[in-house]
């Protein structure tokens, strides 16, 4: 929770409006998709979404982000995971260390 708040402060300090996404599955009776932050490129002609997942541990899963990318693949510009390890690119997801969140 504290890690997410620190990343939120970095994003707001960069001038971004923060959005959150959650999807409730009626059959499972629980949230099956949750994205911590969504940024927009504010384009009227070609709007793109930039989902951001914040992970505080070194081991994590990206199930929600993967489902979000499959569902909205045409509207996604780039997906990010902010985590506690080094910079990495895993396919269409860019994993960045926390200190780089201010650069998004």
| pLDDT single digits (tens) 59-100 | 888 888 999 999 988 889 899 999 988 898 988 899 999 999
Global pTM value: 0.85
How are beta strands 93-97 and 79-83 bridged, if at all?
parallel
For 9-35, the pLDDT digits (tens) are 999 999 999 998 888 777 766 677 889
Could you tell me which CATH number the domain at 2-103 has? 3.40.1350
Over range 52-56, report the average pLDDT: 91
Strands ordered across the beta sheet of 49-54 = 19-25, 30-40, 49-54, 79-83, 93-97, 88-90
Domain parsing of the chain, residue ranges: 2-103
């Amino acid at each position: 929770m504290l890690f997410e708040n620190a990343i939120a402060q970095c994003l707001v300090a960069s001038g971004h409006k923060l959005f959150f996404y959650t999807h409730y599955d009626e059959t499972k009776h629980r949230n099956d998709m949750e994205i911590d932050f969504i940024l927009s490129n504010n384009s009227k002609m070609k709007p793109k979404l930039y989902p951001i997942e914040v992970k505080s541990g070194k081991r994590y899963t990206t199930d929600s982000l993967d489902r979000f990318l499959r569902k909205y693949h045409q509207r996604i510009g780039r997906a990010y995971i902010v985590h506690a390890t080094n910079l990495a690119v895993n396919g269409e997801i860019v994993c960045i260390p926390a200190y780089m969140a201010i650069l998004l």
